Structure 1
Amino acid sequence: MPVSLPLTPAGPEGRSWTIAGQDGGALVRRSVLPGGVRVLTESMPGLRSATVGLWVGVGSRDETTSHFGSTHFLEHLLFKGTARRSAMDIASAFDEVGGEANAVTGKEHTCYYARVLDDDLPMAVDVLCDMVTSATLAEADVESERGVILEELAMNDDDPTDVVHERFAEAVLAGHPLGRPIGGTPDTINAVGRDDIAAHYAQHYRPAGLVVTVAGGVDHDKVCALVGESLARSGWDLSDDSAADRAPFARRPTTGGAQLITPARRPVVVRRTTEQANVVIGTPSLTATDPRRYAMSTLNAVLGGGMSSRLFQEIREARGLVYSVYSFASGYSDSGYFGLYAGCTPAKTDEVVRLLVAELHRLADGGLPADELARAHGQLRGGLVLGLEDTGSRMSRLGKAELVHGEFIDVDEALARVESVTAEDIRSLAADLAAQELTLAVVGPFDEDREFSLG
């Protein structure tokens, strides 16, 4: 039976729910520990591995002026050592058991995660909890890691595909904190100081904001005990009896930011002596919780989601103008964006841009035959199920359910929502997108005042 269960951000200590009968006998449970720490697990029978993630609901959009770049900086610094462990101790702990650990910073959350054998889960939980709660943030480590981050930014800046996507996001979400680059810029990374980073850390890394998600060969009660024991060793105060400190942080509001967006009206052109022009064109779009997000996923499958998609067939197969072409969408709590990407010979850029726009309008004006809709449904069904065949994907699903969507959706319910999308849903959404003024970003051998024809 399909299951969709709302998640209550706040609640009494020990509040929990259980979902039984998941695919493959998996069991999903959620508990709120003292201090407001939330723990979600998915027990997957027969697996000998587990992936654990520690999530903090803070991303690049949450940085204040003096803290720009701090969120990404912390992703690096938390691996540099704690009062109990050196950076080498942290690295060795995972290497010596054949595990792996990493972290990812987003615009609205940060996650520190590890994949290990089930027997090594106590170590993984303890190390990650130690990192998240007790990072030393030593001045020497800040300066050393500053150079590492600047090299990372330089590496990304050498990739024109990364550059065009980043500049498109800045342009289409102009005026909104979501438009800022996740990793910061060389200027902000050079400007932010150790005290600024420490203040950002103290403000956001607190018990009520921590979400722990684990998937694999695990037992929920044992995971809760491991997390509780590790946090007790950390020095975090989990004993305050006041309701405010015990309740988890409220989920991020889902309205209120869209009106701040003023998309760039002129093309954003970044001059690079590349052999290809990299193009992204698009518009502000759906939030992460918009009911039409399933229609958006289906629209992307039809328009630019695979070798049978309209963009691929028309621009690559029929005309031979590109190697890579696709559509995409990113949704956040109060805004999002939709885009079309292509890489082409610079001399063909105007033609490719016109064709990208034309295919969007063709979908908006002409609708969708039954065979294309069925193919899109099939593509999404396969991608959804295959994408949840590993513990890392299951762990991420739990974190996003808690922090982003506010509900846990099992596979059967997600498939049912995909199947419910109609041709008219897609046509209507395409029409809404096509009716908006489009933002264009181009990286290639062009002058910055170069004009491009959209139709």
Structure 2
Amino acid sequence: MPLPDRASVAVSMMVAVGSRYEPHSESGISHFVEHMVFKGGGRYPTARAVSEAIEGVGGVLNAATDREATMFWTRVPARHVGLAVSVLSDIVLRPVLDPGEVAKERLVVIEELRMYHDNPQESAQILFDEVMWPDHPIGLDVAGREETVRGFTDAQCRTHLDAHVRPDSLVVSVAGAIEPAIARELVGAELEDWASRARRDREAPAPATPASGPPLRVQRRTVEQASVLLGGRTGSYLDPERYAGDVLNVVLGEGMSSRLFLELREHRALVYDVHSFVSRLSDTGVLGIGLGCDPRHAATAMRAAVAELRLLAERPVDDTELTKAREYAKGRLLLQLEGTSALCEYAGQQQLLTGRILEPAEVVARVDAVTADDVLRSARRVLDSGLRAAVVGPFRGAARFEAALS
């Protein structure tokens, strides 16, 4: 993605693997491997060598793991793009994976897990995922569990990389002040030998399954603020109706002019934090609502949030509210794509996960095509899937939340 007026170039190596590809006994291996590659590669053999190479020119280097993708990225001044490609390809394709470093990183990742579990909002998210996708890899914490992380070895990391980092699962995305031909030449030189190796087919991840079991989990914890997450299933990122779901999400709970914010916070003062969100995978998705509030108001706030969602499934939004939501969705997209890193991620993830890059103008046109009836159907779809919830707070029982959810 050439952006000749920018001073930087962002480079991402995105791999189509994440936590949903993992067996239960190796939960968290994708995230752990993401950590381990930063310990060094063939040309940059230590963590210090890797970080100094990029930071020595003022660049930034990071990574992230999700359920279906792992992304390694860097952004550097444009004249150092060759260095960026060199470092990324070295650590992702030729990592050292020293056993001693693996042993140390196990301790680091366990501390990361404990940090998340100490945070009530993070704990609520972990519980919510378990409730939404019970007994499925999608429902497990992307970072894994302490018992699995403690057992990871350098051999497991190598096996994971060999199985999943391959030409048909890798996308390299480049955006910024660089000509496409130069980008292709730099990347091709690094990947040519690696891509020519013979590889066995890899197994596809298990498809998403219908939700089952209890729709509510309550975790008792002594805190001053309750954390509540509730929601239902919605379409995948391949679903042609996903844009209606995005507009529904804006109307419901994105921003300070959304229905949830105006009703639960501004009008009734039930919550401090209130928002909605959409999370999509290749064959499923969820529309969720997050609440942070005084424990005394938690059940009432949940009931009020459910009422707002039900209202959207019963009565079409008017033209003014629909226009505002569409403009919000379009404007946020365009603002997010101003930076080289954001555009690099936008293009790369689409190519990796869908096999096609939609130009921003095409996305804008699809958002503009969403009607009030589309939004209503999207809300009904979420409700028809069955609402599910997770609550973290100083609660002895679940009855009040069961009633609010129903």
TM-score normalised over the length of structure 2: 0.95
Q: State how far apart, in whole Å, the 1-side matches of 2:14 and 2:385 are.
A: 35
Q: State how far apart, in whole Å, the 2-side matches of 1:369 and 1:297 are.
A: 17
Out of 381, 387, 397, the residue aligned to residue 432 of structure 1 is 381
**Is 1:303–2:263 an aligned residue pair?**
no
Q: What SS is found at the alignment partner of 1:103?
A: strand
**Is 1:177–2:140 an aligned residue pair?**
no
Residue 439 (structure 1) shift:
0.7
Pair 449,229 (structure 1): closer, same or farther in 2 beyond 3 Å:
same
Q: Which residue of 1 aligns with 2:309?
A: 360
Pair 343,212 (structure 1): closer, same or farther in 2 beyond 3 Å:
same
Out of 31, 48, 65, the residue aligned to residue 88 of structure 1 is 48
Q: What SS is found at the alignment partner of 2:357?
A: strand
Aligned AA (1:257): P
Deviations 1:149-186 (A, max 9, x none): 11111111121111111210111111322111111111
Aligned AA (2:382): L
Q: Which residue of 1 aligns with 2:159?
A: 199
Aligned AA (2:163): Q
Q: State how far apart, in whole Å, the 2-side matches of 1:448 and 1:102 are.
A: 42
Q: State how far apart, in whole Å, the 2-side matches of 1:401 and 1:266 are.
A: 32
Q: Which residue of 2 aligns with 1:15?
A: none
Residue 348 (structure 1) shift:
1.0
Q: Which residue of 2 aligns with 1:289?
A: 238
TM-score normalised over the length of structure 1: 0.85
Deviations 1:325-361 (A, max 9, x none): 0111111011111111111111111111110110011
Out of 111, 115, 119, the residue aligned to residue 79 of structure 2 is 119
Q: State how far apart, in whole Å, the 2-side matches of 1:129 and 1:374 are.
A: 45
1:332-343 → structure 2 map (5 Å cutoff): 332-343=281-292
Q: Which residue of 2 aligns with 1:22?
A: none
Q: Which residue of 1 aligns with 2:269?
A: 320
Does the 8 Å contact 1:54/1:113 carry over to 2?
A: yes
Q: Which residue of 1 aligns with 2:57?
A: 97
Q: What SS is found at the alignment partner of 1:121?
A: helix
1:121-160 → structure 2 map (5 Å cutoff): 121-160=81-120
Residue 207 (structure 1) shift:
3.1
Aligned AA (1:133): L
Aligned AA (1:327): S
Q: State how far apart, in whole Å, the 2-side matches of 1:173 and 1:428 are.
A: 23
1:186-225 → structure 2 map (5 Å cutoff): 186-225=146-185
Q: State how far apart, in whole Å, the 2-side matches of 1:429 and 1:65 are.
A: 33
* 389-398 or 221-230, which deviates more: 221-230
Q: Which residue of 2 aligns with 1:279?
A: 228
Residue 198 (structure 1) shift:
1.9
Does the 8 Å contact 2:259/2:308 carry over to 1?
A: yes
Residue 264 (structure 1) shift:
4.0
Out of 366, 369, 391, the residue aligned to residue 340 of structure 2 is 391
Residue 251 (structure 1) shift:
12
Residue 448 (structure 1) shift:
5.9
Aligned AA (2:28): G
Q: What SS is found at the alignment partner of 1:43?
A: coil
Residue 84 (structure 1) shift:
2.4
Deviations 1:18-63 (A, max 9, x none): xxxxxxxxxxxxxxxxxxxxxxxx0112112110000111101111
Q: Which residue of 2 aligns with 1:34?
A: none
Q: State how far apart, in whole Å, the 1-side matches of 2:69 and 2:234 are.
A: 20
Q: What SS is found at the alignment partner of 1:409?
A: coil
Pair 239,65 (structure 1): closer, same or farther in 2 beyond 3 Å:
closer
Does the 8 Å contact 1:172/1:283 carry over to 2?
A: yes
Q: State how far apart, in whole Å, the 1-side matches of 2:304 and 2:389 are.
A: 14
Unaligned runs of 5+ residues in structure 2 are: none
Q: Which residue of 2 aligns with 1:238?
A: 196
Unaligned runs of 5+ residues in structure 1 are: 1-41
Q: State how far apart, in whole Å, the 2-side matches of 1:448 and 1:142 are.
A: 42
Does the 8 Å contact 1:268/1:448 carry over to 2?
A: no
Q: State how far apart, in whole Å, the 1-side matches of 2:132 and 2:315 are.
A: 26
Does the 8 Å contact 1:173/1:284 carry over to 2?
A: no
Q: State how far apart, in whole Å, the 1-side matches of 2:354 and 2:167 are.
A: 21
Q: State how far apart, in whole Å, the 2-side matches of 1:415 and 1:200 are.
A: 38
Deviations 1:106-160 (A, max 9, x none): 1001010000011000000001000011111111011111111111111111211
Out of 112, 128, 137, the residue aligned to residue 168 of structure 1 is 128
Does the 8 Å contact 2:27/2:143 carry over to 1?
A: no
Pair 319,239 (structure 1): closer, same or farther in 2 beyond 3 Å:
closer
Q: What SS is found at the alignment partner of 1:269?
A: strand
Pair 126,357 (structure 1): closer, same or farther in 2 beyond 3 Å:
same
Q: State how far apart, in whole Å, the 1-side matches of 2:397 and 2:33 are.
A: 35
Residue 451 (structure 1) shift:
4.6
Q: State how far apart, in whole Å, the 1-side matches of 2:362 and 2:55 are.
A: 38
Q: State how far apart, in whole Å, the 2-side matches of 1:365 and 1:424 are.
A: 10
Q: Which residue of 1 aligns with 2:11?
A: 52
Does the 8 Å contact 1:150/1:189 carry over to 2?
A: yes
Does the 8 Å contact 2:76/2:84 carry over to 1?
A: yes
Q: Which residue of 1 aligns with 2:189?
A: 229
Pair 65,352 (structure 1): closer, same or farther in 2 beyond 3 Å:
closer
Q: State how far apart, in whole Å, the 1-side matches of 2:70 and 2:203 are.
A: 15
Deviations 1:232-288 (A, max 9, x none): 5xx625276xxx89xxx99979xx824x23244242111211101100111122111
